[in-house]
């Protein structure tokens, strides 16, 4: 088997998607290994969970840097020191600059709780319910400069059911996020993704 791709996960919070990636990557035939987890928030719950799974953790606290540029330089320096092939953003709540994103172009992915390009941004579940939309879901996409935009790797559709509130809907979507993200990372890490303009072509 060819060497596993080295992946770093960026988080800001509870890290349930991060856990799904770590668990998937424990399988011998998974094409990637999770090398490190980085949080911009020292209190992120996911840091403890990653450490308990034996993964290297690092805090790069944006509040301790004078500028976004300094924060991103520190972040990039650490990520490069880990010799990563790919970055997986998993609930990472910091907007990254065009310059940072350019450095990781086609090597950084994100998971978003909506069927993009619908419902970019925050509070997707509340907005879906307010609009009376019947089909919701989650998307894994390559990171581009515009927030929650970028070539789509994979999506899962989730129904909106009568009686749903934001919590029940979020929970239904999250179950699918935890399935979708490891699948999408595996596609990328095993080289089964070709980027053709704004579109991702996948092969089996």
- From the list 13-21, 71-79, 159-167, 187-195, the region that binds ligand GRF by CB under 6 A is 13-21
The one catalytic residue among 27, 112, 123, 141: 112
CB 153 within 8 A of CB 193: yes
Binding mask 57-96 for ligand GRF (x = CB under 6 A): ---------------------------------xx-----
27 is catalytic: no
- Does 40 bind ligand GRF (CB under 6 A)? Our answer is no
Among 4, 7, 17, 96, binds ligand GRF (CB under 6 A): 17
- Does 177 bind ligand GRF (CB under 6 A)? Our answer is yes
In the complex, the residues that contact ligand GRF under the rule CB under 6 A are 11, 13-18, 90-91, 111-113, 174, 177
């Amino acid at each position: 088997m060819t060497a596993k791709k080295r992946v770093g996960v960026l988080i800001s919070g509870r890290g349930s998607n991060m856990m799904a990636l770590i668990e998937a990557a424990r399988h011998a035939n998974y094409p990637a290994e999770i090398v490190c987890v980085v949080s911009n928030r020292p209190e992120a719950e996911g840091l403890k969970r990653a450490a308990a799974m034996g993964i290297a953790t690092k805090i790069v606290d944006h509040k301790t840097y004078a500028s976004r540029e300094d924060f991103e330089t520190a972040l990039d320096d650490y990520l490069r020191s880990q010799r990563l092939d790919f970055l997986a953003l998993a609930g990472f709540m910091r907007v990254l600059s065009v310059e940072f994103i350019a450095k990781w172009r086609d090597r950084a992915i994100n998971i978003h709780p909506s069927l993009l390009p619908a419902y970019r941004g925050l509070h997707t579940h509340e907005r879906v319910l307010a609009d009376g939309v019947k089909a919701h879901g989650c998307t894994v996409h390559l990171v581009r400069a515009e927030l929650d935009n970028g070539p789509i790797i994979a999506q899962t559709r989730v129904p909106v059911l009568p009686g749903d509130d934001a919590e029940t809907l979020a929970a239904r979507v999250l179950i699918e996020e935890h399935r979708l993200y490891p699948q999408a990372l595996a596609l990328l890490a095993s080289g089964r993704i070709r980027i053709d303009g704004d579109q991702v072509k996948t092969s089996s």
